[in-house]
Every structure is written in C-alpha cells, then in structure tokens.
Structure 1
Amino acid sequence: MTKKVLFLLSGFLWPLQNVQAQNTENIISHNQETIVTDPSKGENSYKRWTTFPSKDKEIRQIWLNLTFECPDNMRCADWDYVDHIKVRPKNDTISYEIARMLTPYGGRFQEDWRFDWKVDITDFSPILRDSLEVDYIHTGYEDNKSRGWKVTVDFEITYGTPVAEQLALHKIYDGNYSYGDKSNPIENHLQPISLKAHTKSTFGKVKIHQTGHGMDANGCGEFCDKYREILNNGNVIDRKQLWMECGDNPLYPQAGTWIFDRANWCPGYLLQPDEVEFKLNAGKEYTIDLNMEPYETEKPSAKELLVAYVLEYGEINAENDVSLVDIISPSNEKIHSRKNETGALAVIRIKNNGKDNLKSFVVKYYLEGQKPKKYNWNGNVPFGETALLTLPEEIVGDKESARFFVELKRPNGKRDGFIADNTKSSVYTRPNILPESSIIYFKTNNKPGQNSYSVSNSFGKEVFKRDSLELKPNTVYLDTLTLQEGNYTFKVTDKGGDGLEFWFKAKDGNGSVKLLDTLGQAIKHFNSDFGSHIIYNFRVKPGVGYHLDNEPSINMFPARTQGPVTLDYFANHEKDVQVIITQQEDESKIVETHTYLGFKKGIFTYDLSYLPKMRYYLKVVVDGQEVFKNRIRLKE
C-alpha cells in the first residue's frame, strides 16, 4: 500500500518539477568575474551587454542570484563596501539599480570560500528585456592588486502568466543625500512626487533601496537608528525603523565589525528592498512622498543612499493563487543556516498571489522514499503578503542526504491560478547522532550575563537550560545530558550579539563551547565568534554509533593586540602541530615558528610586542596541512 501511495504522489510531483524546470531560464551577465576597486575614483564599473527575453514573452518571476568567491591568485577583499547592480536598456539614458550588495569583511576567508545570496527582482521585468547593459559597480579604495572578489550575477527567469499586468515603472528618487545638515535638509531632495496613474492601474507599489552611511558625532548615518515614512496623497502608509541587527548574519564569522548593527544593512548582505503596496484610481493623479525622521547635527557627514521606484499594476490575474517561495528547513543553502530553530520540523515560506485573501490550502510534503504527509493550513494572508509555516510532523531520514519535497494545493479550496510555482524540493541532511549521554562544555568569558544555553525537542519543549544568572566569569561548566530517543536543538544565546569572543571587544575576554562524549572527546566544536546565537540540531538514537568531530578546535585571541596573543588548541588525536606567524602582505616573511610534536590540547601565549606595527597572520599547520589562519592587528 505504501509503495502505491508513494508512486502516485511521486508521479504527480515530478511532472510539476519538470514543468517548472522547462519554464525556467538562467541568464548570466557576469560569470565568475574578478572584481577589484579603482582607488583613483572610488568605484569600478564592469559593464556587460546581455540578451534578455523579448517583450512578447510572459514572465512570472525573476530571481537575481549573486555569488561571491575568493579570486584566483588573490585574497578575498577586506572591506564592507557598497556595490550596485544597474541595468540600462539599449537606446536609453536612464539606468536602474535593480540590486545592492554590501560586501563582507573577507580578510579571514580561505581560498575555497563561497557564498550565495538571492533577491526577487520580478518588479523590474518590464525593463529586463532584449539587449541590456548590466553594470556591476564595485566601490571602495582598497588595494586592487592583491585582493578582490570573484562575482557571478545570474538572472533566474521563470516564464508564465504574471501575477498582475505590469503597466508602469517610475524612478522617483536616486541620490546619496546628506542627512542632518540644516543648511541642506534631506527633505529638500525628498519632495513629493506627482504622477498620473495608467488608465488600467488598480494598485501600485513603492520599492526602495536605502542604506545609511557616514559617521557623524552621533554615529549617523551608518550606526544610528532612524525612521522613514512613506506617504500616499499625504497619508502615511508605512513607517519603518531603518535598522538591522547583524549578530545573526548567516555569513559568519567575518574579519571586521560584522556584528555591529547598522542602518538597514549588514556586511555581507544582498539588500532586500522595502516594498509597500497602495491602491490606485485608474487615470487619476496621485502623490508619493518619502520623509526621514527629523534630524540635525553641527558637523553633518551622514548620507542616505536611496533609490526609490513606483510601480503600477493592472488587474490581478487569478482569484486564488498560492506560491511556494522557499523551503527554509530542511535546506543546505547557507543563507538559511542560522534559521532552523525547529529541530526536525520543516519550515516553508508561502505567498498569496491571488486577489482573494488566502485562508486555506493543503500542504503535501515528504522525504524521498517515505510516505507523504498532509497538512491542512488555515489562516489569513492578504494579496502580495508572505507567511512562514512550520509543518507539524517531524522529518527524519536514515540516509545521510535525501531530497525533501513540498507541494501546495487547493488555495481557498479552489483550483490554483498558476500551479508551476506550487512545488519545490530541497536537500535534507541527516543531523548528527549523539549518544544518550553527552556533555556540554561551556567556558564563559568576562560577560557571562549575556549568555544562556538550552536543549529543546522539535516542538519547543525545553529539556535542559542554564540561565545567565547561573554563570560566573571565566568559568568552565560541564553539564551532562541524558536524553531519550528523539530530535533536539542545542541553542546558545548571546544578548550582546558579540558571541563568546569578538576581536573588537578584547576586554570582554573569550570563551568556548563544545559537545563532548563521556570520554571527553569532541563530538562538535563551535566557533566562539558566533554573534547572537548558535543553533545545532541533533538526534539521539540508542544503539547507533556517533561520529567525533576530529577536526581540531583552534581559537586565537585577541586579534588586535599590543603584543600578547593566546592560542587555544583542542583535538581528539595527537598530531604534529606547527604554529607559524607571518607578515600579512608577504606571507613568505615568517617571523616566528613553533613546533609541537604529538600534541593534542593546550593553551599557549606568544608575545609579539617586539615586532613593528603591522598586520600579521597566525597559521596552524597539522601534519603538514594548513588548518587555521587568522589575522593579527598588532599595535593598531
């Protein structure tokens, strides 16, 4: 019976997958191109003419996929610069910023490092047609001979009936506006814009790319929390704090101040635009206005880097239309690596593309080779809005890796208006198996009041917790867990958002966290520079062997020092270990080498105060292979 059900469902899902694949095309404008700065101008332009679909082809959706890697024979770049992806149609003088990237601090990334981001740019489909100039603009002033990025810009286009007819695209603001200057107020530049609606328009959308930069006495605009309002015909339709917490960035750890919260962005972040919909009266005039929180300062230097568009749409093409936007968990996408707090429960994001509010639909989901599960969802999602859903039954597989499938059906009990975006699959990776008894090793730093840690099952029930009030500074805690068979989540929280160590806060000290077996061997090492939290899902299954984390745990602290640098090394097996300290700009210039034969664990301090002010690398080589490399900022 099970085989028959599986066959029937698989036979239904796979054709949908194939239809979706056949209706999708990837157009790549920049293919693993090396991107460097132009210090003479502060920006460098990489223009590529690219052929997009003709205007007569219907487009359902466009994702922009952006990939960063370390360049060949160069280091990953160091600084958090602003990059723009702009397009200019042929025979047009207007360029449109379709995406904005805030580059990461790449100083500690290894040669094989890579990260992928994505953003929905479907709103720009009217101009992403025929022959286009796609310009990747990399800003900044750092050295362009030894460092940069390898960048791929990939437009993933799904063909099919649009959600609604796209009628107009207006660019209403585009500038790097001073903020806080009473002699030149930002509102002088953000004047109300009057437009006349298309004769078929039914609704509009304001789409904004905005990030704060510069540093005045109050930290504005990069490090100050201000609000922005959007007005339609003089009425406020949206108010947002332009602030983003960076301690949960999925790209971590980075070399610089990656944990510091910023004005609507974080280092290593592809900006997700602000979008606000509003009603339109066909053929009638209307106004859109952006207002920033009133602010003045004596020595202004803040800038608001802002591009805003108004889009007009006609009738929505379907009354009932749900789409599956993403599978958050299970997933092997790095962008989702910090979001899986539900243990073995699946999490998906859905969107209502139908005219009617979405109040119900059916979810079918399963792991390949297993019996499908069914969930009847009820709620209320208006048109254009998305929602996160946690599916109710655990996803557990015995294979190391398998495909996980999700299908959405019967929105509001009706036939879906566009079925090709109702199905997705992701990669399920079996969580690590832990023994019934294991040990949490937790060493606090100088600020234990910021930390707590716990173990919960998939449904959120805590089976163990140690609160911040129980923790003392610079103390090792060994907590024995005895767990029944099941799926669990180990979570470490840091209220300061700066982990158990952070190079900029050397006075806070450093701590560490590991999971050990009862013999004291490491099952899992965690990086102490984790920002706001650690989430680790695992499974306990009696009688099943567990794997040890046999890669050594290596921690160097502090990274910015007047001389002393401490190395903490922990491994399950004895190896021959070398610690090598070199100059950063010329790694062939070795200043110190230390050799430890048959070494397993220990803490060493090296005093580099005799060396000149410079940046250095500390490398750890185990049995001839480099396994660790971190930068030292000496006397900076």
Structure 2
Amino acid sequence: MIQRFLFLLASFIFLQQNLHAQATENIISHNQETIVTDPSKGENSYKNWVVFPPQNKEIRQIFLNLTFECPDNMRCADWDYVDHIKVRQKNDSVNYEIARMLTPYGGRFQEDWRFDWKVDISDFSPILRDSLEVDYIHTGYEDNKTRGWKVTVDFEITYGKPVAEPLAIHKIYDGNYSYGDKTDPIEDYLAPVTLAANTQSNFGKIKIHQTGHGMDANGCGEFCDKYREILHNGKVIHKKQLWMECGDNPLYPQAGTWIFDRANWCPGYLLQPDEVSFDINAGQKFTIDLNMEPYETEKPSAKELLVAYVLEYGKINSENDVTLLDIISPSNEKIHSRKNETGALAVIRIKNNGKDNLKSFVVSYYLEGQKPKKFSWNGNLPFGETALLTLPEEIFSEKDSSRFYVELKRPNGKKDGYSGDNSKTSVYTSPNILPESTIVYFKTNNKPGQNEYSVTDSYGKQIFIRDSVDLKPNTAYMDTLKLKEGNYTFRVQDTGGDGLEFWFKAKDGNGSVKLLDTLGQAIKHFNSDFGSHIIYNFRVKPGVAYHLDNEPSINMFPARTEGPVTLDYFANDEKDVEVIITQQEDETKIVETHTYLNFKRGILTYDLSYLPKMRYYLKVVIDGKEVFKNRIRLKE
C-alpha cells in the first residue's frame, strides 16, 4: 500500500513539474483549411494573419505540427507537389520559408485518412513574434474541383529560457536554381556571403531547406545523387549527399512512385532542414559559401530549390543541460510507426543543450502503475548534438494501453540548468499475444533474392532466419516457429526497397506474407506494398488467448495492366463480399459489380481489356462498408 502511494506521489510530482516548467501554447494559422491547386499559375496561396507572442516573452522551443486529411466532399490529391510555409512580419517585404512539405500520392487514401508531421522551428523564434502573415503555398497543376487536402498548421510554442540567446537571422540564399546548365551555372548564385558578426555572438548555425527537382537525361535533379559542401571562411565544415531512401517512409503505401529514392526528399514528407553549427569571433566578419557537386549536361532541366539562413547566437544559458527530445518507442505517433512502435525495449532521442560536453546522466523510465527503472548513460556528446538511446530493460503491461514515463536527471552529475524539458510521456500499446507455435507464411515474387525474414528476441538474438539464398521465385514457404514465453520481433527485409509488390514493377510479380496459427487462421496480415521492411513486435505467453487478425487481407495486382487484374482475398470468417469497379473521375459510373456469398478465401480474376483505356477504382465492400480501394490504370 505504501509502495502504491509513493508511486502515485512520484507520478503526481512528475506531471506537476512537467506542466509547470513546460508552459505551452498552440497557435493555429490554418485550421482544417481546404488546399487546392491553381492550374493557371502552378501555385495557390493561403494567407492568414496570426498574433504570435511579443518580443519580451522568452521562448524555449517551437514545433510546427502539420496535419493532412482528405477534404470534405473531395478526394485526397494525387501528386507529390512542393508546398511552402512562409511568414512575413508586418510592414516588412522579406518572407521566410520556415517549413517545406512534399505532398504524398493520395490516390488510394480512404475518406477517414489522416497523417501528422512535425519539425523543430525554434531557430525562427526571433521572427515568430507579434502580428505575422502565415502563407501556406500549395504548388501544382492537377484538377482543383475534385481533389485537394485538408490542412492544419499548428505552432506549438514552449515558453522558457532559450538554450542560447538568439541575436540575428540572415537569409543568404533563396531561389529555384538551375543545376547542370553550363550557360547558367548554379555557383553564380551560390556565391560566398560575407557577414559582420554581432559583438555578442558566440556561435552560428547554417540552416538549409534544399530539395532537387526536374528530370534531365541523368535523372537530375529529382532522381540523382549529388553532394553539397558548406564552407566557413573558405574551409569545408560539412559535406552531404543530397539523397534520401524512401522505402522506409512511415506513410505507406501510397498510390504513386513513393518508394523511389529522391534528392533529399520523399513523397509525404515534411522536410527536416540541414543544420550545421560553427564558431564565430564576436564582432568580426565571416564568410559562408555553399558549393554543389560540379555537374553539367547537354539538355539541362534540373532545379535545386534552396533557401539558406545564417543564425547568430550569444551565450549558452546552461553549462549542463540534457533535453529529452522524443520518445520513439513506445509511441502511438504515426511518424514513428516504422520504428518498433510496441517493442519491449524503449527508444528515446536526447540532446545536449549544455555548454559542457555531456558525459553522463541518469534515465528514469516506467509504465504507468509499475516500479521505475534506472539507467546510467555514459558517453561524450558535444553541445547541440543528439543521440538515440535504447533503454536496457524490457517493458511490458497486460493493459491494452497505458502511459509510459521518461525523465532525464543529473547531466554530468550536476543539477540540470533547465529541467523543464527533461520529462515526457507517450502512449504504450500492448503487443499482440501469439501462441507458442506460429506459422510464417511467405510467398515470394519474381525477385526473391531481395528478401529475407527473421525472428529475434528483444535484445537482437536471432531465433530464426530464412535468408535470400533459401528462397525461390513464386514459391510459398510455411515455417513453423516454436517460441518460449517472451518478447519477439518479426522482420522482413527487402533490399530493393519495393516490397513484395509494387505497381510500377509489375514484371517483378507479387508475393505475400502472413502469420498464421496451427489452424490456418490469420494472426497478422501484412501489406505486400511495404517498401524496404516490415517490423512486427509480439509477445508469447502460454495459456493466454492470442490475437487473431480478423480484418480480411485484400491485395490487388497489377495496378497498371492491359486488362487482367487479380484480387487475392484471405479472411478468417465467411462474409458476403461485393467487388465494385468504377471510373476514377466519376465513381458513380460503375462498370462491373460482383457478389460472393459466404466468401472466405480465394483468388479472383477480372479481365477489363474491353473497357476504355483510362483509370478505374476497384473497391471491396463488406456489410455495406468499403474496406478496400485501389486504382487501376488500363494501358494500351
């Protein structure tokens, strides 16, 4: 009883400290605003005036939270366009791009679809003050009568002592620069910029939003891997390949070429800017220069969409200051859904916001109602650097959902200079319970050399693996796992980054993967269009009823066809199933309807070659509810 009282008291103090120190305010500039293109101009501007905090109010941190939904009475938009969020102060002609969004391919999203992203924009706190015009700019040319996005832009402001005193912000580059054109070289625009440092400046930071677009003979700038260098006073201080692998995008699957790697972006991605710190001699001049990898081509069309800022900061306000940035796992945030979301080992991201190198601190963590666990971290993390930590002891609760608490203490054995950002909570979701005997059903496609699947325990010890050398094309494998009580992770890897099926690669065929019980019932279905990997965490606990995945598994292939389309349907229960094929642009125009009574499992084939060459939807309806919808492109 006393232990329970002490736990409740600790939780109360934890919450009170967190609430007191982390006073936050949410300022919303665009509240579920419908965003569509303006095909006549290629961009559409949505401007709103917003009142931000006054200059004399200290700000510790600002997150920009961005939410996309399907609009009312419209469908989600189709294309991966570039959107900008810019701000302008009253009576000022200068605007600042504070965030950049690359929109997803929304053609297959259901009406209730929603996704949330966030980016730290604290560096812009000196200008996010008083009355501001916030402009959401949506680019593109697609139809604006039937499709778009419902967008919410939310500024989450945490008040408190800043990490370092902000002194100045300079916009040094801003343009959509040609790349590869020898008659108009990009370096003419990315010329060195000389600035005079504030007399109180202690260090500087370069902040860059850069994405590659266009398509020349070499795939540049969207699909080519080039480097960029940052020079400070003529010396290279940072070099980066402007390339991003898209097969692990947490927003998946999408309708278009979402898996294709791109030049520093992916479809359905809120850009996380590049940030590089450098030393400043107070009151003296310094030079910053950006150089792109030398590149020329005969018929240039590549563009580098780039804006760069130099920020000056004064004194760092604390010598010892550790910050808990995020709880990656456990978490119910969709942005972390690819990263071990219900794993037995918690994963957190921390940052050193203290002047002294961070060499040690203590982590306290626990699930609601359980005794706190302790972990002492040792390392050497410089100011401004971040680190990902996997906490060593397993966490588990039989509750379907509970709160997970983390607190960081005693950086370098000292009192934290700012304790307001040392604590966070997240939502823990109990992993599925599986039986002691589980069957892995894995059907390969035409490229089995790209795949392997395995089971490991919480600490990475391998329990089972089927390597790519063991797999043959278009073959179904059924591996029986016999597991002891404990926590496990099932992984599927695809080195091609295109899953077991992808509409653009129809010749690669399609495969499927499921976990079954010994009766052949589905415990877990996995979407074949998964990109680079699947991570699924579960627990084996003898004598406890295990989870069944009673939602049907539905897969349609190919999505681009001359006529034949196959629908693979697998369910645990018999249902009356209706398959409806409609035109995409007018879904009231139904071209085929098929009804299957008491249907449980089977492969259904349709030949649409007699229809006009255009785009269609294939829908599956069960008990009057649409449970599946995918686009079909009939090609010549």
Same fold judged by TM-score > 0.5? yes
The equivalent of 2:144 in structure 1 is: 144
Question: Does 1:3 pair with 2:10?
Answer: no
One-letter code aligned to 2:519: L
The equivalent of 1:76 in structure 2 is: 76
The equivalent of 2:631 in structure 1 is: 631
Please state how far the C-alpha of 1:623 moved relative to its aligned partner: 2.6
Query: What is the distance in 1 between the residues matched to 2:8 and 2:87?
Result: 46
Cα deviation, 1:448-482, whole Å, max 9, x if unaligned, reads: 00000000000000101000000000000000011
One-letter code aligned to 2:509: G
Question: Does 1:111 pair with 2:111?
Answer: yes
The equivalent of 2:396 in structure 1 is: 396
The equivalent of 2:622 in structure 1 is: 622
| Residue pairs, 1:318-397, within 5 angstroms | 318-340=318-340, 343-397=343-397
| Residue pairs, 1:193-592, within 5 angstroms | 193-340=193-340, 343-592=343-592
| Residue pairs, 1:25-64, within 5 angstroms | 25-64=25-64
Query: What is the distance in 1 between the residues matched to 2:412 and 2:324?
Result: 15
Q: Could you list the runs of 5+ residues in structure 2 that have no partner in the other structure? A: none
Cα deviation, 1:113-154, whole Å, max 9, x if unaligned, reads: 000000000000000000000000000000000000000000
Q: Partner of 1:394: helix, strand, or coil? A: coil
1:289–1:375 Cα change, 3 Å: same
The equivalent of 1:189 in structure 2 is: 189
Query: What is the distance in 2 between the residues matched to 1:571 and 1:42?
Result: 45
The equivalent of 1:19 in structure 2 is: 20
Please state how far the C-alpha of 1:339 moved relative to its aligned partner: 1.2
One-letter code aligned to 1:254: Q
Query: What is the distance in 2 between the residues matched to 1:51 and 1:584?
Result: 42
Contact 1:367 1:402 in 2 (8 A): yes
Contact 1:583 1:591 in 2 (8 A): yes
Contact 2:202 2:314 in 1 (8 A): yes
One-letter code aligned to 2:523: I
Please state how far the C-alpha of 1:343 moved relative to its aligned partner: 2.9
Query: What is the distance in 2 between the residues matched to 1:399 and 1:552?
Result: 26
Cα deviation, 1:335-377, whole Å, max 9, x if unaligned, reads: 0000118930000000000000000001000000000101111
Q: Partner of 1:267: helix, strand, or coil? A: coil
Contact 1:74 1:148 in 2 (8 A): yes
Please state how far the C-alpha of 1:547 moved relative to its aligned partner: 2.1
Contact 2:89 2:132 in 1 (8 A): yes
One-letter code aligned to 1:79: W
Query: What is the distance in 1 between the residues matched to 2:70 and 2:214?
Result: 27
Please state how far the C-alpha of 1:20 moved relative to its aligned partner: 4.2
Cα deviation, 1:232-264, whole Å, max 9, x if unaligned, reads: 000000000000000000000000000000000
Query: What is the distance in 1 between the residues matched to 2:582 and 2:77?
Result: 19
Query: What is the distance in 1 between the residues matched to 2:8 and 2:78?
Result: 52
Please state how far the C-alpha of 1:542 moved relative to its aligned partner: 0.4
Please state how far the C-alpha of 1:621 moved relative to its aligned partner: 1.2
Q: Partner of 2:10: helix, strand, or coil? A: helix
One-letter code aligned to 1:88: R
One-letter code aligned to 2:17: L
Query: What is the distance in 2 between the residues matched to 1:459 and 1:510?
Result: 32
Cα deviation, 1:426-469, whole Å, max 9, x if unaligned, reads: 00000000000010000000000000000000000010100000
Query: What is the distance in 2 between the residues matched to 1:624 and 1:224?
Result: 46
Instruction: Tell me the percent identity.
Output: 83
Q: Aligned pair count?
A: 635
Contact 1:342 1:489 in 2 (8 A): no
Cα deviation, 1:393-413, whole Å, max 9, x if unaligned, reads: 001001000000000010000
Please state how far the C-alpha of 1:595 moved relative to its aligned partner: 1.3
Contact 1:501 1:509 in 2 (8 A): yes
Contact 2:21 2:419 in 1 (8 A): no
One-letter code aligned to 2:425: S
Please state how far the C-alpha of 1:588 moved relative to its aligned partner: 1.0
One-letter code aligned to 1:6: F
Query: What is the distance in 2 between the residues matched to 1:7 and 1:606?
Result: 61
1:341–1:454 Cα change, 3 Å: farther
Contact 1:342 1:458 in 2 (8 A): no
Contact 1:616 1:632 in 2 (8 A): yes
Q: Partner of 2:126: helix, strand, or coil? A: coil
Q: Partner of 2:64: helix, strand, or coil? A: strand
Please state how far the C-alpha of 1:10 moved relative to its aligned partner: 1.5
Cα deviation, 1:186-206, whole Å, max 9, x if unaligned, reads: 001000000000000010000
The equivalent of 1:102 in structure 2 is: 102
Cα deviation, 1:143-201, whole Å, max 9, x if unaligned, reads: 00000000000000000001001011000000000000000000010000000000000
The equivalent of 1:161 in structure 2 is: 161
1:362–1:311 Cα change, 3 Å: same
1:552–1:80 Cα change, 3 Å: same
One-letter code aligned to 1:16: Q
Query: What is the distance in 1 between the residues matched to 2:528 and 2:614?
Result: 25
One-letter code aligned to 2:547: H
TM-score by length of 1: 0.99
Q: Partner of 2:44: helix, strand, or coil? A: strand
Question: Does 1:593 pair with 2:569?
Answer: no
Query: What is the distance in 1 between the residues matched to 2:213 and 2:6?
Result: 56
Contact 2:211 2:306 in 1 (8 A): yes
Query: What is the distance in 1 between the residues matched to 2:518 and 2:81?
Result: 47
Query: What is the distance in 1 between the residues matched to 2:523 and 2:540?
Result: 13
Contact 2:21 2:160 in 1 (8 A): no
Query: What is the distance in 2 between the residues matched to 1:618 and 1:255?
Result: 13
The equivalent of 1:127 in structure 2 is: 127
